Amino acid sequence: MILQNFVVLEGTDGSGTTTQLELLQKKLPASSFVATFEPTKGPIGKLLRESLRGKIPLEPKTLAYLFAADRQEHLYAPEGIVSHCQQQKLVISDRYVPSSLVYQGLFCGDEVVAQLNQDFPYPELLLYFRLPPEIAAGRYEQRSERDIYERLDFQKKIHQRYETVLPRYCEKGGTRCIVIDATKSIAEVAEEVWRALSHMPILKTICEAGTSQ
């Protein structure tokens, strides 16, 4: 099932999804736009972040279960994604099911992860921030805190998996997928993102409401 008004940003670590979401937050009215992310800021998301920082060791399959549990809350809690989308808000999430398929699939096998995530709705639109792993490494290596996944040899595998997993995921769910050239400058990428979003009926409604005020 497709969840209308729901958009997902995906890409390897360092591909710039978080930066672009922050820019959109400045541009769009808070009354009709929700920017969100996974792992979430809820209790399961916090546990996941601790583990990704290498502070709590967890089995790969445990991580896959926890990401799915965090997502269940993210979608269906009272102030969750589904509720916002149904209230005719545009919801954009920095990472979603494809991250689990790509990252956890590498350790646990594709089948296990696909099964854990099979009941979750598909987004209306998915923007894939494509960036060669060598360029991405130059970005995340400058950060003060690093995740266990932020190593070039691992990110090369992740990059390859995105290239095969995303087309399959989008075809299965009927999600529209647009590739963003993430090698470009922040301003140029922002333009590409805006162009991609502008085809969505909800964005037209938001912009029309903005100009009529």
Q: How far is the CB of 16 from ligand TYD (least distance, A)?
A: 10
| Burial per residue of 123-135, b for 16 or more beta-carbon CB atoms within 10 angstroms, e otherwise | bbbbbbbbbebee
Binding flags for ligand TYD, 70-89, as an x/- string (CB under 6 A): --------------------
Residue 152: which region, alpha, beta or left (left: phi > 0; alpha: psi -120 to 50)?
alpha
CA neighbor of 92 nearest in space, from 163, 149, 20: 20
103 makes contact with ligand TYD (CB under 6 A): yes
100 makes contact with ligand TYD (CB under 6 A): yes
CA-to-CA distance for 101 and 122, rounded, in angstroms? Answer: 13
Residue nearest to ligand TYD (CB): 103
Subset of residues 11 to 70 that bind ligand TYD, contact rule: CB under 6 A: 13, 18, 38-39, 52, 67
147 makes contact with ligand TYD (CB under 6 A): yes
162 makes contact with ligand TYD (CB under 6 A): no
95 makes contact with ligand TYD (CB under 6 A): yes
Q: How far is the CB of 158 from ligand TYD (least distance, A)?
A: 8
Question: Looking at beta carbons only, is 75 or 206 nearer to ligand TYD?
Answer: 75
CA-to-CA distance for 32 and 90, rounded, in angstroms? Answer: 6
CA-to-CA distance for 72 and 81, rounded, in angstroms? Answer: 10
CA-to-CA distance for 187 and 182, rounded, in angstroms? Answer: 11
| Binding-site ranges for ligand TYD (CB under 6 A) | 13, 18, 38-39, 52, 67, 94-95, 99-100, 103-104, 147, 149
